[in-house]
Amino acid sequence: MMKVLLSPQRSDDEILYSFNDDVITVYYNGIVDTFDFSGVPDGQLVLTDEDDNSLIETSLPFNPIELAYKENGILHVKIRYFYKQNATEEERFPEWTDSNDLKVGVYNG
C-alpha cells in the first residue's frame, strides 16, 4: 500500500501513474519512467541537494516526485499532477489517498 498526494498544476499536458507496492511508473508525453522505493527505510527521503537540484535520476523533463517518506513501512509520496481547465474540485484540491483508491491520474493502459 502507498499513500499518494497529488500536487495539482493547471496544464493541457497529461501525466499518469501506475502503482505497484513501492514502485511508481510515470507516463508523460510518450516517456515512461519508473521510480522504485523498495527497500527504503522509514524516514523522509532527500530528493534535492542544497542547491535544489534533483537527486532522483529521470528520463522525464522534470522530477514528478515532490516529496517521499516512509512511516511505519508505508510509502507516502507527493507527486505532480496536471489537471485540465474543467477539473473537478477533487482534482484541484486533492487529499492524501491510498494509491488503490485514486480516481484521477491513474494509467489504465
Q: What is the pLDDT along the chain (109 residues), one digit of tens a residue?
A: 799 999 999 999 999 999 999 999 999 999 999 999 998 889 888 776 676 666 678 899 999 999 999 999 999 999 999 999 999 988 899 999 999 998 888 988 6
User: Does the pTM of the predicted model rise above 0.85?
Assistant: yes
Provide the b/e sequence for 9-42 (b: ≥16 CB within 10 Å). Answer: eeeeeebbbbbeebebebbbeeeebebebeeeee
**Domain limits of the chain?**
2-101
Torsion of CA 6, 78, 3, 46, to 10 degrees: 170
Return the bridge partners of 20, or none.
23
